[in-house]
Amino acid sequence: MTQIRILSLLMLVALFVVSFAHADIDPASIVGAFLFDGDAKDISGNGNDGKLQGGKFVDGQFGKAIELNGKSDWVVVPKMGEFEEISILAWVNVTGRLSSWRVIYNADGWKVGDIHHQLHPNNKVEFSIHSNPGGNDQFSDFLFGQDNIGWTHLATIYSAKQKKIWFYVNGELDVETDWGGNPGVIDVGRIGSWSGGGREWEGMFDEVIFFSTALDQLDVKKLVDDGLDATLSVQPEGKMTTVWAVIKAGSMK
């Protein structure tokens, strides 16, 4: 009986370790987080608040979301920095403008290091870094070829250190490709539009988050399932939980 109990205990410990293996997201790696719960504030604590150009708030995946009309609505975001590793996560809902350019986040203009992250007219997710080795662009396999897909979570992970890019859809790996090597710049730009015009998003965004690190699939899946606030509020590392609580409190002032 003793051996059985010990074995059962070890199995429980193993399950506990696995369940929290992904609970290691450092709040300091979040450079901009837009939850759109009634405003366009950045709750990362970095002060990268967005500025609304139109749009309206509707029910989202977690709390509220912002709905853009595909014509004259977008969110302006400030420059957040240059990074060797970048993860951009967003809940998206497409309601129109199929087979057109539709921006998730694009830097204003198009110069060396700029990031353009959008739906291409081929209806695939495109991630571009100007002048990146191996060509500017990489694509998902997942298609946004219809307007009734509903809420979909997109995570694009880029590492200049590893020279790789990963596309995730709803927490599952879609594409992994060797690519790049240059850092990318999250510059002054827009969520839902491009300064060049004609690429406006018709639909909704929720929990658009920029990280300065390459998240792994377990981290992505946790954020898909629980959302940013819940994920960082219950991490087993007490220090991380405390840090997030302080950041969040400061961002609400």
DSSP string, 176-220: EEE---S-EEE-SEEES--TTSS---EEEEEEEEEESS---HHHH
Q: Is the pLDDT score of 13 beyond 70?
A: no
- The pair of structure tokens assigned to 70 is 């595909």
State if pTM tops 0.75: yes
Q: Is the pLDDT score of 22 beyond 50?
A: no
Architecture of domain 25-251: Sandwich (2.60)
Q: Is the pLDDT score of 11 beyond 90?
A: no
Which sign, positive or negative, has the C-alpha torsion 111, 116, 120, 124? positive
Mean pLDDT confidence for 4-24: 41
Mean pLDDT confidence for 58-68: 97
> pLDDT, tens digit, for every residue of 119-154?
999 999 999 999 999 999 999 999 998 767 899 999
Q: Is the pLDDT score of 92 beyond 90?
A: yes
> pLDDT, tens digit, for every residue of 160-197?
999 999 999 999 999 999 999 999 999 999 999 999 99
pLDDT-based confidence at 16, cuts 50/70/90?
Answer: very low
| Contact by Cβ (8 Å): 134, 128 | no
Q: What is the DSSP letter of 4?
A: H
Domain ranges of the chain: 25-251
Q: Is the pLDDT score of 247 beyond 50?
A: yes
- The proportion of the chain whose per-residue pLDDT surpasses 70, expressed as a percent, equals 83
- What pLDDT does residue 148 have? 72
